[in-house]
């Protein structure tokens, strides 16, 4: 029933998108399916009246026949033309839904799951089936009513002609089997299509394409794309072939029955049990009935397809609504008093055997600057995402001043977090909009410039032709920035929030030179001390470079998902453990 409720929702969307057009389409459907019955009755009337020399009745029926044919043709054209406009508007609305769910979902762990990614791919690829779900249900109902009316007329000639309805059952059954063949092929091909699209995007992305050309891997990627595409298309071709053969078998059964009904009527006319008008009616209704049965099959198939996409769509919506968790109504404190506590926090990525973060227990005091260190794959970024509320711990708990993070409104907590994540966005458009995108309120130019200066991105802006109004990115036909310059703008964006409780910088200087790195960290630590004083904020710096984190109040060293050392710089050097070893290695490397 849920897909049927969604079908009603799709019709409501059509009405909201264009009430006038939707009303006209519904009227056109009624006219079209009524006119076919009227046409058949008028054909019988004309034939019978002509034989009885009833010229006036023939003329009136002829005019009615012409009007009915005109109405049928006009109704068909109206549906085709107006539905294209209405469906396009609804398709945009559905695309907007998917975009909102993907971009405002506070929990990102959903997008680490291949099944969710495949589901989104299928909904995007088959959104037209979802858009047409409401229309398919209405058309199926209209065709069914038309079929019943047609059978009533046929039964008046001979009850045996109702047998045509029985022969409509095999096409319906085989149609459902046909759709299962096709849908199975679509589902099996989705992973290959998604992988091919991502690999293909590598060849057109300027940054990634440069590496491909340097490494001379273009042909390898091209071969892999071709292989994935051929695999996907092979699955689809086989699915279409099986679906076509199955559907054709059902159509053949009905066609044989239709020819049998004509033969029976001819025999009745010869025997005097039916008139030539009855034969005309059978021929008219029979031809219409044949197309109506095929129409039922097509619309039932469309309902089946739309229902499958609807279920995928509803699952995505449910996952989004569950991530928002309306029961999580607790808001974050205005100021941190105790800090953030982690107790036995564990998180494992889908299809991974080893947890990325394993049973982590540590306290992050309010108002402190904390450095999170470790080699690649140690679990640093995963821990950051857990603290930001983007991942949900599979065991253990995270508390904010003693309140479990899982009881807090995730969107409210997100507004009190700020900084720079490792995979930052390169937001193309005017500089002022790119920098102010993360702000919780409109910023004036002075505030935007202050954030830029804190990120030491002022020289970048000063070198642009229109300053803050310069449109960045190839999408606007302007030169793009270097990776390091984009990173500094992303950092400025993260510093536009003035009252964070958690300020995170995940590898903030990975693309910066040492001089700018020193300036940025000096500025960041000053900024961190300010928000620590006013709001008890915690500043968390994730870095590989130990030389930049010596001034941190607390240093946490991770290895293979576990915390192996905690303390300040002096204490960890004296302990002569993992931190001291890494510090000596890096110090010697820079001499």
Among the listed residues 297, 294, 290, the one whose alpha carbon sits nearest the alpha carbon of residue 262: 290
Identify the pLDDT of residue 249.
79
pLDDT band at 310 (very low <50, low <70, confident <90, very high): confident
- DSSP percent split of the chain into helix, strand, coil, nearest 5: 70, 10, 20
C-alpha dist (Å) from residue 213 to 204, 207, 326, 473, 493 = 11, 10, 49, 22, 33
pLDDT of residue 185 exceeding 90 = no
C-alpha dist (Å) from residue 186 to 190, 309, 457 = 6, 11, 48
Which CATH fold topology does 424-498 show?
Rossmann fold (3.40.50)
What Rg value do the Cα atoms of the chain yield, rounded?
Answer: 34
Phi-psi region at 281: left, alpha or beta (left = phi > 0; alpha = psi -120 to 50): alpha
pLDDT band at 384 (very low <50, low <70, confident <90, very high): very high
* Residue linked to tokens 């044989």: 256
Identify the pLDDT of residue 510.
56
Among the listed residues 156, 151, 149, 152, the one whose alpha carbon sits nearest the alpha carbon of residue 273: 156
Identify the pLDDT of residue 1.
47
Strand intervals (E) in 255-356: 339-347
Q: Which residues are CB-neighbours of 218 under 8 A, at least 6 positions away?
A: 203, 212
The angle that helices 2-17 and 55-104 make with each other, rounded to 10 degrees, is: 100
Q: Cα torsion for 420, 376, 515, 491, to the nearest 10°?
A: -10
Burial of 442: CB neighbours in 10 Å, binned 0-12, 13-18, 19+: exposed
Alpha helices in 474-546 (DSSP H): 483-494, 514-535
What CATH code is assigned to 332-416+501-591? 3.40.50.300
Using one digit for the tens of pLDDT, what is the confidence trace for 408-433? Answer: 888 889 889 988 887 788 888 888 98
Using one digit for the tens of pLDDT, what is the confidence trace for 482-495? Answer: 777 888 888 888 88
What CATH code is assigned to 2-324? 1.20.1560.10
**Looking at the whole model, is its pTM more than 0.85?**
no
Identify the pLDDT of residue 347.
94
pLDDT of residue 37 exceeding 80 = no
Identify the pLDDT of residue 295.
67
Distance CA 283, CA 271 (A): 18
Give the mean pLDDT of 54-83: 79
Strand intervals (E) in 196-265: none
Q: How many CA atoms lie within 13 A of 168 on its CB side?
A: 23
pLDDT of residue 324 exceeding 80 = no
**DSSP conformational letter for 537:** -
Distance CA 526, CA 456 (A): 13
Identify the pLDDT of residue 403.
92
Q: Quick check: 62 and 49 in contact, CB under 8 A?
A: no
> Do the strands 395-400 and 538-543 form a parallel or antiparallel pair, or are they unpaired?
unpaired
pLDDT top residue among 466 and 261 = 466
pLDDT band at 50 (very low <50, low <70, confident <90, very high): low
Distance CA 62, CA 86 (A): 36
Using one digit for the tens of pLDDT, what is the confidence trace for 508-540? Answer: 655 566 666 777 777 777 778 888 888 999 999
Q: Quick check: 438 and 418 in contact, CB under 8 A?
A: yes
Using one digit for the tens of pLDDT, what is the confidence trace for 230-256? Answer: 888 888 888 888 888 887 777 777 777
Identify the pLDDT of residue 287.
63
Q: Which tokens in the block code for residue 333?
A: 């404190």
Q: Cα torsion for 432, 434, 438, 444, to the nearest 10°?
A: 0
Q: Quick check: 95 and 127 in contact, CB under 8 A?
A: yes
Using one digit for the tens of pLDDT, what is the confidence trace for 126-166? Answer: 777 778 888 888 888 887 787 777 777 777 777 776 766 66
**Among 34-38, 286-290, 393-397, 437-441, which stretch is predicted with the lowest mean pLDDT?**
286-290
Indicate the SS3 state at residue 502.
Answer: strand
What are the structural domain ranges in the chain? 2-324, 332-416+501-591, 424-498
| 499 phi, psi to nearest 5 deg | -130, 50
> Do the strands 538-543 and 369-373 form a parallel or antiparallel pair, or are they unpaired?
parallel
Using one digit for the tens of pLDDT, what is the confidence trace for 330-340? Answer: 889 999 999 99
CA 464-466-468 angle, 5° bins: 85
Tell me how long the chain is: 591
pLDDT of residue 442 exceeding 80 = yes
């Amino acid at each position: 029933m849920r897909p049927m409720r969604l079908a009603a929702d799709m019709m409501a969307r059509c009405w909201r998108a264009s009430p006038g057009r939707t009303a006209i389409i519904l009227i056109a459907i009624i006219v079209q399916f009524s006119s076919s019955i009227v046409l058949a009755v008028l054909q019988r009337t004309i034939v019978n009246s002509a034989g009885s020399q009833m010229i006036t009745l023939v003329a009136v029926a002829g005019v009615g026949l012409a009007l009915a044919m005109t109405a049928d043709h006009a109704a068909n054209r109206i549906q085709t033309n107006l539905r294209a406009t209405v469906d396009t508007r609804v398709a945009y609305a559905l695309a907007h839904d998917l975009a909102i769910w993907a971009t405002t979902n506070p929990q990102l762990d959903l997008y680490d799951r291949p099944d969710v990614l495949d589901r989104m791919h299928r909904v995007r690829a088959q959104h037209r089936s979802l858009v047409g779900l409401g229309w398919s249900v209405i058309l199926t109902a209209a065709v069914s009513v038309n079929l019943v009316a047609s059978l009533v007329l046929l039964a008046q000639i001979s009850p045996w002609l109702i047998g045509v309805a029985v022969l409509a059952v095999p096409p319906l059954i085989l149609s459902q089997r046909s759709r299962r063949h096709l849908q199975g092929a679509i589902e099996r091909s989705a992973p290959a299509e998604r992988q091919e699209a991502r690999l293909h995007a590598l060849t057109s992305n300027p940054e990634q394409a440069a590496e491909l050309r340097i490494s001379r891997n273009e042909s390898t990627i091209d071969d892999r794309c071709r292989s994935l595409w051929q695999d996907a298309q092979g699955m689809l071709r086989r699915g279409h072939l099986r679906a076509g053969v199955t559907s054709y078998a059902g159509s053949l059964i009905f066609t044989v029955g239709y020819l049998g009904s004509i033969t029976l009527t001819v025999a009745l006319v010869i025997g005097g049990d039916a008139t030539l008008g009855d034969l005309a009616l059978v021929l008219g209704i029979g031809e219409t009935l044949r197309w109506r049965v095929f129409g039922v099959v097509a619309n039932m198939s469309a309902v089946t397809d739309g229902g499958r996409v609807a279920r995928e769509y509803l699952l995505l919506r449910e996952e989004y609504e569950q991530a928002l968790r309306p029961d999580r109504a607790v808001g974050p404190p205005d100021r941190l008093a105790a800090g953030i506590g982690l107790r036995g926090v564990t998180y494992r990525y889908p299809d991974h055997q080893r947890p990325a973060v394993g049973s982590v227990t540590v306290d992050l005091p309010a108002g402190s600057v904390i450095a999170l260190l470790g080699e690649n794959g140690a679990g640093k970024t995963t821990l950051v995402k857990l603290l930001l509320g983007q991942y949900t711990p599979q065991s253990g708990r995270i508390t904010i001043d003693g309140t479990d993070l899982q009881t807090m409104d995730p969107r409210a907590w997100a507004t009190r977090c700020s900084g720079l994540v490792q995979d930052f966005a390169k937001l193309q458009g005017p500089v002022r909009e790119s920098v102010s995108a993360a702000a919780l309120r409109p910023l004036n130019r002075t505030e935007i410039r202050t954030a830029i200066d804190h990120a030491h991105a002022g020289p970048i802006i000063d070198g642009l032709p229109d300053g803050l109004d310069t449109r960045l990115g190839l999408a606007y036909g302007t030169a793009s920035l270097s990776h390091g310059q984009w990173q500094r703008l992303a950092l400025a964006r993260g510093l536009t929030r003035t009252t964070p409780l958690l300020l995170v910088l995940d590898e903030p200087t990975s693309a910066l030179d040492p001089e700018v790195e020193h300036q940025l960290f000096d500025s960041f630590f000053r900024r961190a001390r300010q928000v620590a004083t006013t709001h008890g904020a915690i500043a968390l710096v994730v870095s590989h470079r130990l030389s930049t984190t010596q001034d941190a109040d607390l240093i946490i060293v991770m290895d293979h998902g576990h915390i192996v050392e905690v303390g300040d710089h002096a204490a960890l050097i004296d302990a002569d453990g993992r931190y001291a070893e890494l510090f000596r290695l890096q110090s010697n490397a820079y001499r």
